[in-house]
Structure 1
Amino acid sequence: MATGTRPPRPPSGVHGASRAAIRAGHLRTDRWWLAPAGTAAGLLAFVAYSTWRAFANADYYAAPYVSPFYSPCLAQNCEEMRGGPNLDLVGSWWGLSPALLILVFPLGFRLTCYYYRKAYYRSFWASPPACAVAEPHSRYTGETRFPLVLQNLHRYFFYAAVPVAAVLTYDTVLTFRDADYAWGHMGAGTLLFLLNAVLIWAYTLSCHSCRHIMGGRLRHFSKHPVRYRLWGWAGRLNARHMQLAWASLVSVAACDLYVYLLATGAFTDPRIF
């Protein structure tokens, strides 16, 4: 061996000695790529839409509806929202879209969510792209390095997601007013906001961290009957975590789009009573 040269590294990862020596990347004959491709398309569509709306900084309030992307409004440069959640906590120095102050919390909650980890690991990073399909990476380091180590912040994002869901519930209550802010109104948007609030709460409470907080560290369920029951409810929701993740993602985008169309005059809110 020549001086200064290093011996070749032994195969690792999917090509390691402990793995089956199969030359084919996989033996599946079904259209296994449809699921990761569909997931990638859905997530990219939402990212593109939410990015456009977040930086638009316009058309996010049409009385009595306020876009969930902009609520609560924490900056002084918000549109006038009479009776709405305009907190103005950061003052006038913030010159960008106020949505950027809010979306970091629900976005961080979703990005670190256990289901979404599986979704973008398979669809974007191919780690692995599907069951029984080997990943193309030579090594796997898990979530021990930056930026994946930030996934460990999921529980803290859960604590931030709960008040965000509470604010969206408050916004839903305000939709029972008409354009003149008189109570006793229900429009088509009210039903949409009600559905979104329910889905947001269901997705938030079905979170794995929520289930763990309820009863994950209890040694004796019999000594904590209330927490045991809460743990059981969270577990039943957790079984539908994937469906709730997608349903709430669609509903929150639909609410924002509905407000945008109202604010731009595309149509008027159909009144139910």
Structure 2
Amino acid sequence: MTASAEGVRAPKRARIAERTLRTDRWWLPPLVTTLGLATFVIYATIRAFVRTAYYVPEYHYLTPFYSPCVSTSCVPGSSHFGHWFGDLPSWLPLGVLVLPFLLGFRLTCYYYRKAYYRSVWFSPPACAVAEPHGKYTGETRLPLIIQNVHRYFFYVAMVVSLVNTYDAIIAFHGKTGGFGFGVGNIILVANVVLLWAYTLSCHSCRHITGGRLKHFSRHPARYWMWTQVTKLNNRHMLLAWITLGTLVLTDLYVMLVSSGAISDPRFVN
């Protein structure tokens, strides 16, 4: 059987010349998704490589795009976990230690798979709309077989969330030393809380907490954990988009304060 005779063009399928009989704006959700993802990818890529305005030494604000910053190339004070490496070449982002894993976590996320499968690869672009591909192999071959390692990226994402939590805590630092509290702290903490919500709402986390249990009645603690994760899991798509926005907002705020474009309104010190 040739590739052109497979999928929606298979001999036993209805012969419909049109790509779809839908008359609504079915193309709008894929378009919005593509624009949203592209905007984040372009912004995050530029910010990851510019190596400027990512740390506010007065208040210990560090953008999540550069955390943890463990190279001697990092500006003084931004290496909250010390220096693990020497100077990095300019073509490497300072967050190279974790950025590939975070990218892998997002790319293999069950929701994001749906988002870019439909909006970028048109597989399919919408319900009742024929996809342009004549053959479908699913996630059984390269490169899509890599999607099956999502659970391992989840473990790394948990560690990174702990790192971001530490960054948010030590950011309660005053300009003259000691405790301090400003608008930047609200943004950093809100971003961390939402990142935790997105990470814990992951399908892999739901499976880890209770997916392999056969008798919930024998494991009441894990059953309770599973029910809480399930509640978050119901909002996984929403949290996936919100955290893209909070990441950009947090980085943008730190950049503006660090560059001197704006000042951080302070409540304490």
Query: TM-score category by the smaller chain?
Result: over 0.9
Structure-2 separation of matches of 1:69 and 1:9: 43
1:9 shift after superposition:
6.5
134, 137, 149: which one aligns with 1:138: 134
Structure-2 separation of matches of 1:38 and 1:246: 12
Which amino acid is 1:50 matched to?
A
Residue pairs, 1:89-238, within 5 angstroms: 89=84, 91-92=85-86, 94-95=88-89, 96-183=92-179, 185-238=180-233
Judged with a 3 Å threshold, the aligned counterparts in structure 2 of structure 1 residues 9 and 230 are, in CA distance, closer, same or farther, namely closer
Structure-1 separation of matches of 2:189 and 2:3: 58
Provide the aligned length of Structure 1 versus Structure 2.
264
Match of residue 40 from structure 2: 46
Do the aligned residues in 2 keep the contact of 1:72 with 1:87 (CA within 8 Å)?
A: no
Judged with a 3 Å threshold, the aligned counterparts in structure 2 of structure 1 residues 45 and 10 are, in CA distance, closer, same or farther, namely closer
Structure-2 separation of matches of 1:160 and 1:211: 16
1:159 shift after superposition:
0.2
TM-score between the two structures when normalised by the length of structure 1 = 0.92
Judged with a 3 Å threshold, the aligned counterparts in structure 2 of structure 1 residues 8 and 30 are, in CA distance, closer, same or farther, namely closer
Q: Residue by residue, what CA displacement relative to the aligned partner does 1:245-268 show, whole Å, maximum 9, x if unpaired?
A: 000111011111111111111011
Do the aligned residues in 1 keep the contact of 2:3 with 2:134 (CA within 8 Å)?
A: no
Structure-2 separation of matches of 1:113 and 1:74: 27
Do the aligned residues in 1 keep the contact of 2:64 with 2:247 (CA within 8 Å)?
A: yes
Q: Residue by residue, what CA displacement relative to the aligned partner does 1:6-52 show, whole Å, maximum 9, x if unpaired?
A: x9677111111232222221111111111010000010000100110
53, 75, 86: which one aligns with 1:59: 53
With 101-110 and 190-199 compared, the bigger mean Cα shift is at: 101-110
Structure-2 separation of matches of 1:101 and 1:211: 27
Match of residue 73 from structure 2: 77
Judged with a 3 Å threshold, the aligned counterparts in structure 2 of structure 1 residues 107 and 180 are, in CA distance, closer, same or farther, namely farther
Do the aligned residues in 2 keep the contact of 1:187 with 1:271 (CA within 8 Å)?
A: yes
Structure-2 separation of matches of 1:193 and 1:267: 17
5, 9, 13: which one aligns with 1:15: 9
1:176 shift after superposition:
1.3
Structure-1 separation of matches of 2:184 and 2:4: 61
1:272 shift after superposition:
2.3
1:212 shift after superposition:
0.4
13, 27, 32: which one aligns with 1:33: 27
Which amino acid is 2:55 matched to?
Y
Which amino acid is 1:126 matched to?
F
2:64 is aligned with 1:68: yes
Computed over aligned residues only, the root mean square deviation of the Cα atoms, in angstroms, reads 1.6
**Unmatched tracts of structure 1, length 5 or more:** 1-6
Name the SS of the counterpart of 2:122 in structure 1.
coil
Judged with a 3 Å threshold, the aligned counterparts in structure 2 of structure 1 residues 22 and 60 are, in CA distance, closer, same or farther, namely same
Which amino acid is 2:6 matched to?
S
Name the SS of the counterpart of 2:53 in structure 1.
coil
Structure-2 separation of matches of 1:225 and 1:140: 42
Do the aligned residues in 2 keep the contact of 1:32 with 1:130 (CA within 8 Å)?
A: yes
Name the SS of the counterpart of 1:182 in structure 2.
coil
Name the SS of the counterpart of 1:272 in structure 2.
strand
Match of residue 248 from structure 2: 253
Structure-2 separation of matches of 1:124 and 1:65: 35
